[in-house]
Amino acid sequence: MSHKTTWHTQCFTEYDLSQAVSILKKGELLGIPTETVYGLAANALDASAVEKIFQVKARPSDNPLILHVAHCDWMLRYSQNIPEMVWDLADKFWPGPLTFVLDAKEQIPMTVTAGLPTVGLRCPNHPLTLALIQEADIPLAAPSGNLSGKPSPTTAKAMFEDMAGKIPAILDGGACSVGVESTILAFGETPYLLRAGGISVEEIESVIGKKVLLGKNGFHDKLEKNDQPPLAPGMKYRHYAPKAPVTAVLGENSSQWIAQYIQKEEGVICFQEYQSLFDGYPHQVIGKEKDFTTQAKQIFSALRYFDQTNVTHIWAQCPEEKGLGLAVANRLQKAAGASIISATSAYVREKR
Ligand code: TXA
Ligand code: MG
């Protein structure tokens, strides 16, 4: 079968756009740049092409894919019962890192929606990928372009590390400008957050003039209670994990906590202000403590960096959970699994 084909994975630039379109039209997979992270794209209307995404990523089949469209009008092609506030949000934030979960129209293959009656739609803000979708005139189903469970790729090179030999080509559009995945919103009586991402909850609330419903711990955990399947199925899996185990440390004293407990051969993800505490340990600086925008850009490459080292454990300072900090903190906590420590009250938070 073609998913077992070993490809000589090519790196395309903007000059190869027509070749990129033809790969998609042939039902093969293509790495695409977006402003959030690189995606592993297929023609969303071709069920057997979409199937290859799950095989190549080793992705559980109950985890649905986001449909990437070229314009907000395309929402009408693939979804129905669109709430008024979605148009307002699309007006303000599209193209951009915001995904809407809406009632799906019938022509969307079950492999895309994982059998749910809804579909996630987003218009990515990257000129090459927008041109590609326009030119192909098909929506692209695309998860992040990492192997399942690994940190998302924010450069073509990082995607190549995971996908070399597995797909025909990656379209190189440079480093991702946002660096964390899109925010995912679903709509009941009130809108609710399924994943914190590149557009902050505060920004969304300022457009719709309403509160966005969050879980008790800031996001999505309410969806995992009462035996209900989580509404964003992907959020239940361990994610973003480098080879070495990660401990996320929250709170104002996180740097001192880490400096006190760090052992030889352990690594650190830290804020710029505290870098000097970790001289002599392998470390990655993700930006200043309050600069969530820079942290978002750096977080996945920082996590990936440690796979090239021999560290036995990674300590990570976790930002405050506001603005884009919520998305960065979520990625670190998912990478840490159950290993989350509050440096202020010194108790270990239970696994969510
Ligand atoms: O920024 C992004 O969103 C990136 C780029 C490539 O666009 N894509 C991305 O896709 O992060 P992925 O597959 O890694 O994450 C998609 C998340 C998963 O947690 C999935 O469960 C959720 O979106 N999702 C997709 N369709 C859904 C639906 N109909 N209902 C609920 N959750 C959905
Ligand atoms: Mg992903």
Phi, psi of 118 (to 5 degrees): -115, 165
Provide the residue-wise pLDDT of the chain in tens; the chain has 352 residues: 445 789 999 999 999 999 999 999 999 999 999 999 999 999 999 999 999 999 999 998 999 999 999 999 999 999 999 999 999 999 999 999 999 999 999 999 999 999 999 999 999 999 999 999 999 999 999 999 999 989 999 999 999 999 999 999 999 999 999 999 999 999 988 898 999 999 999 999 999 999 999 854 334 443 344 334 445 666 666 678 899 999 999 998 999 999 999 999 999 999 999 999 999 999 999 999 999 999 999 999 999 999 999 999 999 999 999 999 999 999 999 999 889 998 875 444 443 3
Residue count of the chain, please give it.
352
Concatenate the DSSP letters of all residues of 215-256 into one string: -TTSSSGGGGSTTPPPSSGGGGS--S--SS-EEEEESTTHHH
Ligand 1 pocket, residues with Cβ under 6 angstroms: 34, 36-37, 39, 63-66, 97, 99, 101, 113, 116, 118-120, 122, 124, 142-144, 181-182, 184, 194-195, 231-235
Q: What atom of ligand 1 comes closest to residue 231's alpha carbon?
A: 31
Q: Which of 63, 60, 246, 34 is nearest to 145 (CA)?
A: 34
- The ligand that comes nearest to the alpha carbon of residue 117 is 1
